[in-house]
Chain A
Amino acid sequence: MTLLIQQFINGLSVGSIYALIALGYTLVYGIIKLINFAHGEIMMMGAYFAFITVITMGLPFLATLIFSMVLAALLGITIETVAYKPLRKAPRISALITAIGMSLFLQNLAQVIFGAEPKVMPDLIPKRPINIAGIQIGTVTIVTIVLSLFFMFVLDMFIKNTKPGKAMRAVSEDKEASVIMGINVNRTISITFAIGSALGALGGVLYSVAYTQVYPTMGIMPGLKAFVAAVLGGIGLIPGAMLGGFIIGMVETVSKAYISSQWSDAIVFGILILVLIVKPTGILGKNEREKV
């Protein structure tokens, strides 16, 4: 039983990082119907921002985290303004290809600036096991879960209760109508990118602290899995991204723990295929009629 609980917590910590990154995909998709493939790279840049902050300024963990999230938000806004905004009227496929290009660009940029070798992230959180009622949990695992849940809660409050949050929902519902209602669409889109990127950076920092390394291609696999999570939960839906992230994390953990560590990735992607066959819009997605 303790083993089961321990594995459950492991799954929760992996899943919460996926959920954080998945939120970035879903927020952006919800508002401009773009799958931002550069999101995994924003996560990677977030990790590098934190790495640089720690090395040069030696700030404590929380300050580093906030700093990196702010920088990533600015990066997100810049990317949107430079690369996606001019294409807003273009066919969706052009924007998608731009996103893939942006992803490769950021990867190579990081490679040129920092080199391909993995950099070792300093221990921002002292790593040791904590014993709670016979269950061994690492400090990093606890911090990861707590911080992720906290920021998801903050996001939820923001979307539901604040004016920019309401504007985001309105724009995702119907862009033209929200213009008529006097909502500044451009600013709302920028805010969405900023929030998504900041959450991605949070995921990146937690990821690099948990797994001790920062390197240019670190965003690819978590980015891909988070994308899967977003689609699984129903892309464009915020609760869907969170649910999808936790499901992917759990499935991965359970298959590693009880089925086969060699096959876990195949099982994760297999489940995605199964779900999409049964329910193409994702778990929480509603079957909408095509707008005419």
Chain B
Amino acid sequence: MKKRILALLLVLILVFTVALTGCGNGEDVPEGEDVSEGPIKLGYIGPLTGDYSMYGETTKEGAELAAEEINAAGGVLGRDIEIISYDSKGDKTEAVNAYNRLRDKDEMSALVGATFSGTTLSIKAIAKDDGMPMLSPTATHLDVTLDAPNIFRACFTDPYQGATAAVFAAENLEAKKAAVLYNIEDPYSEGLAEAFNEKFGEYGEVTNYEGYTKNDADFKTVLTKIAENEPDVLYLPDYIAKVGVILSQVEEQGLDVVAMGADGWDGIEGDYADVAEGHYFTNHFAKTDESAIVQDFLANYNEKWESDPTALSALGYDAVYMMAQAMENAGSTEAQAVVDALAAIEIDGVTGNIVFDENGDPLKSISIIQIMDGKHVLADKISIQ
């Protein structure tokens, strides 16, 4: 009997809490445009802990630097910008939770995120239904912006980047044979590998098209196999932690090959300067670019965070400026107006002059960087169509 009463009580408590929180929501959020007081809230979602935290952190630092500069110059529409960041841990479910919290609890006006392609794709459907102005600084997968008029990105796509690397290898490095080694578990790596493979096939021969999984640490076997075909270029589209391991073994095996990579290589000179020496990668911007906007960005970033920015910091920085500019152009923070303004935007950013195509992908050139004496050297700027 006692148990039954207890159960009844519990049910009652549950019902009441649900009812009460329901009411709470209704009262807290006034209908319409009453949220125009206080700072404009921009959401940010990225991996801030875990294996890929360095990527999420640097992007966030770039975004926060931009917000600080914009606020110091008077803000947007007379209001300050506030960046609210949540950790995705690089996990798709966490990203969706973060998005829901940003929308419902923090009432963000727009989203600058998410950071990785996988997490961005996981929130794509909800953001599209909400009509939320969404600008991913760094999600390079092709599908991110497809069929979603409200979703944009500040970086170039994987296929575009992979194809550019192939063109550079064939034309500038005069490579006849290339080998590809990619992570089969990662859409980023796979997308780049496929694009490179296809494009390089137009110029020469792809001798090996090999894969590995994220837990693989031994590449000696596959490198021995690749070495047999004597390729001129080895394409390694993955992130630093893995590329560093592969390049160390390339060195140890004494493989005579020029390696090429993608924007995931940015920062490789930190831990792997020795083994990355002389190799190339495609990137969003070059630190040695002399233009004022790049040099100012480098100086301000250094001052605020006491470290050097990566390309991801530059993209986070540009993304916030683009979003602010769009709101300024739209004259409001209303979602549809911001989306329309974003689609029509033209802006000079750290990562180049940016205009969006009809998908919401930026049209801009790609920098090819070579690691020389442990530093980035701009080898070329390429734009292919």
Answer yes or no: do A and B interact: yes
In the assembled complex, B288 has its CB within 8 A of some CB on chain A? no
What 0/1 pattern do residues 211 to 242 of B give for CB contact below 8 A with A?
11101011011101101100000000000010
CB-based contact B224/A257 at 8 Å: yes
Contact of B252 among A116, A127, A265 (CB under 8 A): A127
Contact B225 A117 (CB under 8 A): no
Q: Which residue of B has the minimal Cβ distance to A255? A: B221
- Contact partner of B245 (CB less than 8 A), chosen from A10, A127, A136, A212, is A212
Tell me whether A136 and B248 are in contact in the complex, defined as CB-CB below 8 angstroms, given that A207-B217, A256-B222 are known contacts.
Answer: no
Choice from B53, B211, B215, B249 contacting A117 with Cβ under 8 Å: B53
Among residues of A, the one whose C-beta sits closest to the C-beta of B225 is A257
Interface Cβ pair total, 8 Å cutoff: 89
Contacts known (A120-B272, A138-B252); A3 close to B224, Cβ less than 8 A: yes
| Bound form: Cα–Cα A211–B250 in Å | 11
The closest CB in chain A to the CB of B223 belongs to A10
CA distance A13 to B218 in the complex (A): 10
The reply to whether the CB of A213 lies closer than 8 angstroms to some CB of chain B is yes
Q: Tell me if A139 counts as interface (CB < 8 A to partner B).
A: yes
A116 and B50 in contact, given A129-B254, A257-B225, A265-B213 (Cβ under 8 angstroms): yes
Given contacts A128-B254, A140-B252, contact A253 B49 (CB under 8 A): no
Q: Enumerate chain B residues within 8 angstroms of A53, measured Cβ to Cβ.
A: none
Cα A199 to Cα B254 in complex, Å, equals 30
What residues of B have a CB within 8 angstroms of the CB of A127 in the complex? 248, 251-252
Taking CB as reference atom, which chain A residue is nearest B50?
Answer: A116
Q: Is A141's CB within 8 Å of the partner chain B?
A: yes
B271 at the interface (CB under 8 A from A): yes
The interface bits of chain A over 70-81 (1 if a CB of B lies within 8 angstroms of the residue's CB, else 0) are 000000000000
Residues of chain B at the chain A interface (Cβ within 8 Å): 49-51, 53-54, 184, 210-213, 215, 217-218, 220-222, 224-225, 227-228, 241, 244-245, 248-249, 251-254, 271-272
Residues of chain A whose beta carbon lies under 8 Å from any beta carbon of chain B? 3, 6-7, 10-11, 13-14, 116-118, 120, 127-129, 136, 138-141, 207, 210-213, 215, 218, 220-222, 252-253, 256-257, 261-262, 265
A-B pairs with beta carbons under 8 Å apart, 19 shown: A3-B224, A10-B218, A117-B51, A127-B248, A127-B252, A128-B251, A138-B249, A138-B252, A139-B252, A141-B252, A207-B217, A210-B218, A215-B51, A218-B217, A257-B224, A257-B225, A261-B210, A261-B211, A262-B211
Known: A13-B220, A257-B222. 20 other contacts (CB 8 A): A7-B221, A7-B224, A10-B224, A11-B221, A116-B53, A118-B241, A127-B248, A128-B251, A129-B252, A136-B227, A136-B254, A139-B252, A141-B220, A207-B217, A212-B245, A213-B217, A213-B245, A218-B217, A256-B222, A262-B211
